[in-house]
Amino acid sequence: MADSQLIEIFRTVFPNLTDDEIRGATAENVGAWDSIASVNLFLQIQQEFGITVDFEAAASLMSYRAIRDYVAAQVGQAQS
């Protein structure tokens, strides 16, 4: 899974963040990160990576790193 795809998705939801800021983004340090932003992130992740996101489980993923790890695991599962 390419980081660049996930960063691009984050950029559409948080257009004011730099790539480095995105890599370190959490729901606590990004003011615009609310539940709607989470939904927008995961809807795009579904489409971009061809995976099905469990929205209720994904609601606890509140950082770029956590989301990146979740997506990588889902993509890996889908491919195996």
Residues forming contacts to another protein in the complex (CB under 8 A) are 9, 12-13, 15, 35-36, 39-40, 43-44, 47, 52-56, 58-59
Q: How far is the CB of 40 from another protein (least distance, A)?
A: 6
Write down the residue that tokens 């980081």 correspond to.
3
Residue closer to another protein by CB (options 54, 69) is 54
Residue closer to another protein by CB (options 13, 30) is 13
> Closest Cα partner for 61 from 76, 73, 49, 50?
73
Greatest C-alpha distance within the chain = 37
Q: Are 51 and 45 in contact (CB under 8 A)?
A: yes
Residue closer to another protein by CB (options 4, 52) is 52
How would you class 75 by CB atoms within 10 Å of its CB: exposed for 0-12, middle for 13-18, buried for 19 or more? middle
Q: How far is the CB of 43 from another protein (least distance, A)?
A: 5
Q: How far is the CB of 55 from another protein (least distance, A)?
A: 3
